[in-house]
Amino acid sequence: MPNWYYDKKDLRNTPSARDGVDYETERRYRREGARFIMEAGASMSLGHNTVATGVVYFHRFYMFHSFRTFPRFVTASCCLFLAGKVEETPKKCKDIIKTARGLLSDEKFQSFGDDPKEEVMTLERILLQTIKFDLQVEHPYSFLVKYAKCLKGDSAKLQKMVQMAWNFVNDSLSTTVSIQWEPEIIAVALIYLASKLSKFTVVDWLGKKPEHLKWWDMFVQDVTMEILEEICHQVLDLYQPSQAESAPSKSPPQLPPSKASPPMKRANISPITSKNSPNIAVKTPLPPMPPTEVVEANPIPKHITTENPHYPYPPYPMPPMPPQGHGPPLPYVTMPPVIPPQPPAGWTHYSHPNANKYYPPGPPPGRNPYYPPQ
């Protein structure tokens, strides 16, 4: 099975980072995509496991692809669509798109293109190949409940602490802790954080042994306080109002995946197009056309009528049509033969007040003799 856990160095060297997206912007994109999945899941009454699975798919997907190539909201809708089928709570693609249309602004919904359903269905195949069809995902929720049942203390304070830890697990989906540590470690860290904030000190638990210095030693081993503190700080950073989130988003609307890059290169990293426009390729203006050389010539009349004495119309007498009787049409062998070209008639100049203005008093040089006289 593939290894889905990455360290800090990997998170700093993602395809988006190599594609020109800075670290803080990528973190914001991940938060926006994860929160969109949670909001859409809540609107459609999906369970917490379905929502969490979709968010984990989302974070894993962008460890292989760039945010410039695949718009985050289209990817988030696709992840929720796939997670619903995996967790046996399926939702129709059109219902997810309808929910997304209600949650997103017109500018953000432009990334779904002219055919949103086709965009999501096409991206699902790329998502499955990216996550290598490893669909089963474990979440900290089950471990949180399992560990909480082993703790002893005041039931009211314990219930309050577990509820706070559950909320922290929900909020941790907006971070990258799900692709950095196992769900058992995340559950321990967030119970530890909730116990500190709720001032509930765990002093006794079921199955306590002398070699257990902390309550989590009976569940996970070799977990240092540095790891727990790192997970806690990532979750607490979500509640710090940053300057980037308070300022309006300057990112332009993203193109749908089918238009953001050619189909053959859609699964690869798109090249950097412009610093100010990360999603729309900059078109190089064409060089100016060279000036055309003006050639003086006799003007050509725009309208040719039968009244023009130099253009007898028609030039040759039309052959008589054979009589058509009843029955099938005549075979080709009985059709009249093609009249060979006639020699040109002699040139005759007619006096006309405007004759010299448009037509010279003689045949034009180089005139094909098979053309009608002029």
Tokens of 93: 């693609």
Q: Is the pLDDT of residue 255 over 70?
A: no
Q: Is the pLDDT of residue 352 over 90?
A: no
- Structural contact between residues 77 and 26, judged by C-beta atoms closer than 8 angstroms: no
Specify the DSSP element, H or E, that contains 24: helix 23-43
- Start-end of H helices in 104-154: 106-109, 116-130, 140-148
> What average pLDDT is seen over the chain?
78
How would you class 160 by CB atoms within 10 Å of its CB: exposed for 0-12, middle for 13-18, buried for 19 or more?
Answer: middle
pLDDT tens-place string over residues 30-40:
999 999 999 99
> What integer pLDDT is reported at residue 367 of this predicted model?
56
> What integer pLDDT is reported at residue 222 of this predicted model?
84
How much of the chain exceeds pLDDT 90, in percent? 56
- Structural contact between residues 279 and 250, judged by C-beta atoms closer than 8 angstroms: no
Which domains can be identified in the chain, with CATH numbers? 8-131 (1.10.472.10), 140-237 (1.10.472.10)
> What integer pLDDT is reported at residue 166 of this predicted model?
96
- Indicate the pLDDT class of residue 115, thresholds 50, 70 and 90: very high
Q: What three-state secondary structure class fits 151?
A: strand
pLDDT tens-place string over residues 287-322:
554 454 444 444 434 443 444 444 444 444 555 555
Residues 6 or more apart whose CB falls under 8 angstroms from that of 144 comprise 162, 165, 166, 169, 187, 190, 191
As beta bridge partners, residue 80 has none
> What integer pLDDT is reported at residue 319 of this predicted model?
52
Least confident span in 152-156, 223-227, 276-280: 276-280
Q: How many CA atoms lie within 13 A of 150 on its CB side?
A: 16
